A = this chain, B = another copy of it.
Amino acid sequence: MLSVDADRRRRPTLDTVAAAVGVSRATVSNAYNRPDQLSSSLRERILETARSLGYAGPDPVARSLATRSSAAVGFMLPQGLSGAFSDPALSIVLDGLASTVDGHDHSLVLMPGDSTGGPRPSIVARAQADVMVAYSLPDSAPAFDAVAARGLPLVVIDQPVLPGSARVEVQDFLGASLAASFLLDQGHSRFGVLTFALHPDGVSGPVSADRRSAVPFRVSRDRLGGYLDTLAKAGVKPDNVPVWEARGSDRELGRLGARWLLTRTPRPSALLCASDQLAFGCLQAARDLGLTVPSDVSVVGFDDVPEAAYSDPPLTTVRQPLADKGRRAGELALKLLAGGRPPRPTRLDVSLVQRASTAPRT
């Protein structure tokens, strides 16, 4: 402990190096940040001395203070990382984002959410980032106020418009509607819907009518709405469509919900899921119950994660360009950072990918 403290206290600074070389602090700073401002021989000498003194370069924090920029983008998640990373869709988005900002020498600060459906405001208030990206937080999450209070630029992904923020999103409603139409065309008439969280309260279970109103997660709202509205237009009353809400989007929660859905009477001949993970759970549940997909029951997912092509059977699903979503968000973040105005929202396309988990109703 003592020695750590001592280490800290002794760490050389710009001044140390400047004194050792016999130049001004500004010159040493220039040696690192503006090589064109000094002769290369002097620069070499400075760098060499720095090395021998154990000086690792300008302190990032002090640098950030002086430049008023921390070269980092904050990423706000609706839940803890556990839930987050078990969702491959998020991983892909995050990767797209990370590679974009990393390419511009910005780092990524992760801000996990809690039961309120987003990071705590105190976390946001203290995060060392100069632009924030929100990923599918509930509408009016407290985190948004915290971002606004700091006056940080904001990019939202899968989120309704917020004043002054840039936005990238996917046509979730349309995608869901494509899937529902497809199944209707295949002759199905008894449906079940499996959605992920409608509310951030961590509840799983059958969805009552009142829980279906004022859904704060836009994605859930649109996918569920896209399914139910399309069915309703075709004459399938929402009241006759059992809906299960899973508190997260993973395979096991999907299995649980699907078990419930597949034991309703009459049994649905088609299951519409809000994500591929949930759909994988359905495949499992069907197996558990001795049902065959797709002859006994058709299943569609949403996202088209890579695994959807390899499941057994391969999944019919709604494709959205996940990596693009992340990349685009990264570009927007960098643009806002550079002082750009938020452009009009980027809307990404969806399409239905037909594989083997669906079949015409026999």
Q: Once the chains bind, are A7 and B339 in contact (CB under 8 Å)?
A: no
A312 located at the interface, meaning its Cβ lies under 8 Å from any Cβ of chain B in the complex: yes
Contact partner, A99, options B81, B92, B128, Cβ 8 Å? B81
Knowing A1-B340, A56-B125, A81-B98 are in contact, say whether A107-B109 is a contact too (CB < 8 A): yes
Q: Report how many copies the assembly holds.
A: 2
A60 located at the interface, meaning its Cβ lies under 8 Å from any Cβ of chain B in the complex: yes
CA distance A81 to B96 in the complex (A): 8
| Size of A's binding interface in residues, CB under 8 A | 64
Instruction: List residues of chain B with CB within 8 A of the CB of A26.
Output: none
A289 located at the interface, meaning its Cβ lies under 8 Å from any Cβ of chain B in the complex: no
Instruction: List residues of chain B with CB within 8 A of the CB of A70.
Output: 61, 128
CA distance A8 to B339 in the complex (A): 11
CA distance A342 to B341 in the complex (A): 48
Contact partner, A109, options B5, B72, B92, B312, Cβ 8 Å? B72
- Please name 16 pairs of A and B residues whose Cβ atoms are closer than 8 Å in the assembled complex, sorted by A: A8-B68, A56-B149, A56-B150, A57-B126, A60-B126, A64-B128, A70-B128, A72-B109, A72-B128, A81-B91, A85-B95, A102-B123, A107-B111, A107-B127, A250-B306, A252-B310
The 6 A-B pairs at the shortest CB distance, nearest first, are namely A85-B91, A56-B149, A1-B339, A82-B95, A81-B95, A81-B98
